[in-house]
Amino acid sequence: MPDALDLSKPSIPLDPPNARIPAFKPVVVPPSNLKAPEGVTMEESESESETEAQTVQPSLKVPVIDIVLPLPTTEVVMTATYAAVAAVATTTLATPFFNKIKKQVQKFLQKKVDKWKENRKKKKKDSLVS
């Protein structure tokens, strides 16, 4: 017979877990009521001029009739595009299912109409015979 296993000592070495903790540089945010000292003029940064340029609504000038047409913003165009693509995809995928259901309902209703016509003819014959 083989010797029994000695379970009093664990044979698997267990190392303590280690982790690398991320360190970030602190971000200093100035207070909202911060003002420049008197006599100091502020220079406009590039980011401020870019945001002002982005707030201007694009337009299209028609030269013959001198009309300025406002154009939609990029966000509006993208939203409309996504909605249109979703609508076309849904319609394209759902059309075969609806056509199949429509054909089955038409066959069912036609059978009911034919049966009704047949019963009506029988009643007419029975009423004429009596």
Question: Tens digit of pLDDT for each residue in 23-68?
Answer: 888 888 878 887 877 887 777 666 555 555 556 778 888 888 888 8
Domain total of the chain: 1
**Model-wide pTM > 0.85:** no
> Is a pLDDT exceeding 80 seen at residue 130?
no
> Is a pLDDT exceeding 70 seen at residue 10?
no
Is residue 60, in this structure, part of any structural domain at all? yes
Is residue 69, in this structure, part of any structural domain at all? yes
Q: How many Cα atoms occupy the beta-carbon half-sphere of 116 within 13 Å?
A: 6
Percent of residues, the chain, with pLDDT higher than 90: 33
pLDDT tens digit string along 20-30? 888 888 888 87
Give the domain extent around 84. Answer: 56-129
Structure tokens at 30: 């100035």
Helix locations, the chain, DSSP H = 46-55, 74-129
Is residue 13, in this structure, part of any structural domain at all? no
Is residue 115, in this structure, part of any structural domain at all? yes
Q: What CA dihedral angle connects 52, 53, 59 and 65, to 10 degrees?
A: 90
pLDDT of residue 48: 53
The chain-wide mean pLDDT, for the chain, equals 83
Is residue 66, in this structure, part of any structural domain at all? yes
The set of residues, in sequence order, having a beta carbon less than 8 Å from that of 36 and lying 6+ positions away, is 42
- Mean pLDDT on 68-85: 91
Structure tokens at 115: 């049966």
